[in-house]
Structure 1
Amino acid sequence: MKQRPSPWMTEELQLLADTASRFFEREAVPNDARWRAQHVGDRDYWNKLGAAGLLCLSIPEEYGGGGGDFRHDAVFLHAQMRAMVGGGSNNVHSAIVAHYILGYGTEAQKRRWLPKMASGEMVAAIAMTEPGAGTDLQALRTSARRDGDHYVINGSKTFITNGWHADLVCVVARTGTEKGGKGLSIIVVETKGQQGYRHGPLLDKIGQHSTDTCELFFDEMRVPCEQLLGAEEGRGFAQLMSQLPRERLIVATGGVATMQRAVEETLAYVSQRKVFGETLMKMQNTRFKLAECQTHATIAQSFVDDCIVRATKGELDLPTSAMAKWWVSEMVCKVIDECLQLFGGYGYMNEYPIARMYADARVGRIYGGSNEVMKELIARSMETQALG
């Protein structure tokens, strides 16, 4: 079934989608199996992305970016998810970290880091999660104490996407003595030659094998105070809360593309696979299951399209982004599971895209804030409205 066009899509955005799709077919698809095997993409892949103008698409041109908005990030992500390739997370690099720097950095910080991120000279990561603190950001323990004109950072972070290749890491650390979120700040670390900084081995994940993930360790790491994001300590928690709706919409946007690819792969398979002399598509159970999956995918696209329009206008609120994140990530897993079942034993083989989708999609219910926390955020908003 042909997908309806998104109401926010333009001719310019369609050209970007075509460019991104051709880039992935040329530079990523031929390397994907090798990247999956080694659990990390090639470092020069980032430079190729930069040379093609596909990094920092929603960052202003004056800082080396593409001058677009969230729609441009969404188009890139959709093309990538449809191609089912990794090699590194441009979502984290361009759509998340770059916007922390753009939104809260000083002018000098923006001009220092954003052009290098746009060219691929620097690969960026954000270090929030710790071994003992994930979704509960107020429980973070990594410390940053002032010593003259430097911060001395101690602690560790885990599950850090892009951590292996990262040249630039936004580290969330406790700069104050206040409990909870009040004492948190974001300090930007340039990792090349940085004493006291190291990353651990690549983590062996269930899925998303071609996107590097590792632990980071800070041992008396001295970072100039001028690399505090913005000009004021203790603003980290507010900065994180302001940007998280964008991150959650990214999860939902990728989920829509994955659902569409899953249904298409399955429709093609059941249309040619024969059982008892008939194609699987002729069987009522197959038809009903695919009808359900297509319905979920269509509803998800409509919901996410509305969220993208809101985000483009700067009107996407936290509860709505939480709804999109939890519901779409749940539906992705449900749809892929139903589709995989129709493949029978072949659906369990990694040579089939549906098997890789099954493993890759599961983390969507965890990262960006667990779905249980998303529901709590929605409920709090409802409670506040009820108490009025």
Structure 2
Amino acid sequence: MDNESFQQVLSAVRHLVRTEVIPCEDEIEETDAIPPRVRTLATDMGLFGYALPAEHGGLGLSLSEDIRLAFEFGYTVPAFRSMFGTNNGIAGQVIAKFGTEQQRQLYLPRLAAGAIASFALTEAEAGSDPAGLRATARRQGSDWVINGRKRFITNAALADLLVVFARTDPNAKGAKGISAFIVDTTTPGVAIGPKDRKMGQAGAWTSEVSFDDVRVDASRLLGGAEGGGFAAALTVLSRGRVHVAALCVGLAQRICDESVAYAAMNKQGGRPIGEYQLVQAMLAESHAELLAGRALVVDVATRYDAGEDTTVGPSSAKLFCSEMVNRVADRGVQVHGGMGYMRTTPVERFFRDARLYRIYEGTSEIQKLVIGRELVRKRQSSTEGR
């Protein structure tokens, strides 16, 4: 997309967030749902497929463009972005990057038009280490039969499609022998549980999904080949980590704006609290960390698009920004004082919303392992090559 067209998209998204989504944040919190009118507006704008290939109905945005939209999405409740996030992120990207041409032609236009896809990887005993997943898929004639349970699957209750990861080689250990399948949620044997009751991120639904002898034909095997599921998952999760980091930046910006506005107007002792040095110190720390996170995400996205760094940079951005936004949220509550603890105050909600960013798309602890392992591996490889 040329820069002028992208600027128009960016401006339209910013306008939508500020004029339509922010005014209904309380409604989303109270009803635990995105209003239908907001979904319609997002669909009409093409947000369900903005990062999908243009030849398959999307806008074909690069990661560098994606994160600039994510800065805007992150400025409001996470549920808004979550509504179409898996389409453009892990679920849609795994089909776009690893699906057969027939699969891309069949499924991606549906997603770009507003159908919802979920990424069914996580299990109760395979979260931070998805290589330990227990779901299975066994060959029966020309079909595959899937059994197992998935946990915390975003948008499952709303989904039309599921990208399901299962072990197709029972003798393989760890990451080997895992494949992915594209499954319609209406397929017999697919059961989606009730939406989870969560600490925050109201309106962003997660559910358990079970598969009881779910039969799909061979055309549903992602990429048409067995054994590539785990590598495909890691690839799209890495891209998704940069996107999540950008969401954290957007949320940190909103919290900073709310905190500065409150400090500038609310008085104690006859003076705005923003004139007190310790309050200024909290605002300064949050602002500095916000700027650092924004610069980091922009740099990492640029390097990702250039193919220079698709591992360490994304994990570093996700680690820093998810931890950063939680510190900013904590200071935001502190700046607001007693009002910051009230459910009627946006920073209270954002404090709860922010906590999940340190967990999904890979916990902070997993990011540290990825970064450290890769740094050592690269050093060892360079030494061995001398």
Name the TM-score, length of structure 2 as normaliser: 0.93
Name the counterpart of 1:4.
none
Aligned residues: 378
State the distance in 2 between where 1:340 and 1:11 align.
39
Name the counterpart of 1:98.
92
Contact 2:239 / 2:310 at 8 angstroms: preserved in 1? no
State the distance in 2 between where 1:265 and 1:360 align.
15
Paired AA for residue 35 in structure 1 = I
Paired AA for residue 263 in structure 2 = V
Q: Does 1:77 align with 2:70?
A: yes
Percent sequence identity over matched residues? 34
Contact 1:17 / 1:76 at 8 angstroms: preserved in 2? yes
State the distance in 1 between where 2:162 and 2:116 align.
9
Query: In structure 2, do the counterparts of structure 1 residues 39 and 227 end up closer, same or farther at CA, with 3 Å as the change threshold?
Result: same
Contact 1:46 / 1:123 at 8 angstroms: preserved in 2? no
Return the offset for 1:45. Answer: 4.9
143-152 or 74-83, which moves further after superposition? 74-83
1:162-201, aligned counterparts within 5 Å?
162-177=155-170, 178-192=172-186, 194-201=187-194
1:171-320, aligned counterparts within 5 Å?
171-177=164-170, 178-192=172-186, 194-320=187-313
Deviations 1:144-203 (Å, cap 9, x if unpaired)? Answer: 1111121111111111111110001100111112111111011011113x1000111110
Matched residue SS, 2:181: strand
Deviations 1:188-220 (Å, cap 9, x if unpaired)? Answer: 11113x100011111011111111111111111
Deviations 1:88-108 (Å, cap 9, x if unpaired)? Answer: 432212122111111011111
State the distance in 2 between where 1:284 and 1:30 align.
32
Paired AA for residue 351 in structure 1 = T
Name the counterpart of 2:372.
379
Contact 2:76 / 2:251 at 8 angstroms: preserved in 1? no
Contact 2:176 / 2:227 at 8 angstroms: preserved in 1? yes
Query: In structure 2, do the counterparts of structure 1 residues 103 and 254 end up closer, same or farther at CA, with 3 Å as the change threshold?
Result: same
2:45 aligns with one of 45, 52, 55: 52
Return the offset for 1:293. Answer: 1.1
Query: In structure 2, do the counterparts of structure 1 residues 85 and 364 end up closer, same or farther at CA, with 3 Å as the change threshold?
Result: closer
Contact 1:57 / 1:69 at 8 angstroms: preserved in 2? no
1:143 aligns with one of 136, 144, 148: 136
Paired AA for residue 101 in structure 1 = I
Coordinate RMSD, CA, aligned: 1.8
Return the offset for 1:229. Answer: 0.6
Paired AA for residue 112 in structure 2 = A
State the distance in 2 between where 1:78 and 1:346 align.
26
Query: In structure 2, do the counterparts of structure 1 residues 27 and 102 end up closer, same or farther at CA, with 3 Å as the change threshold?
Result: same
State the distance in 2 between where 1:148 and 1:28 align.
49
Paired AA for residue 161 in structure 1 = T
Query: In structure 2, do the counterparts of structure 1 residues 63 and 191 end up closer, same or farther at CA, with 3 Å as the change threshold?
Result: same
Matched residue SS, 1:185: strand
State the distance in 2 between where 1:72 and 1:47 align.
23
Query: In structure 2, do the counterparts of structure 1 residues 266 and 328 end up closer, same or farther at CA, with 3 Å as the change threshold?
Result: same
Name the counterpart of 2:57.
64
Return the offset for 1:49. Answer: 2.2
Query: In structure 2, do the counterparts of structure 1 residues 339 and 304 end up closer, same or farther at CA, with 3 Å as the change threshold?
Result: same
Name the counterpart of 2:355.
362
Contact 2:179 / 2:229 at 8 angstroms: preserved in 1? yes
Q: Does 1:155 align with 2:148?
A: yes
Contact 2:48 / 2:112 at 8 angstroms: preserved in 1? yes
Matched residue SS, 2:51: coil
Contact 1:263 / 1:294 at 8 angstroms: preserved in 2? yes
Gap regions ≥5 residues in structure 2? none
Return the offset for 1:131. Answer: 1.0
Q: Does 1:119 align with 2:110?
A: no
Contact 1:28 / 1:85 at 8 angstroms: preserved in 2? no
Gap regions ≥5 residues in structure 1? 1-8
State the distance in 1 between where 2:200 and 2:302 align.
30
Contact 1:245 / 1:316 at 8 angstroms: preserved in 2? no
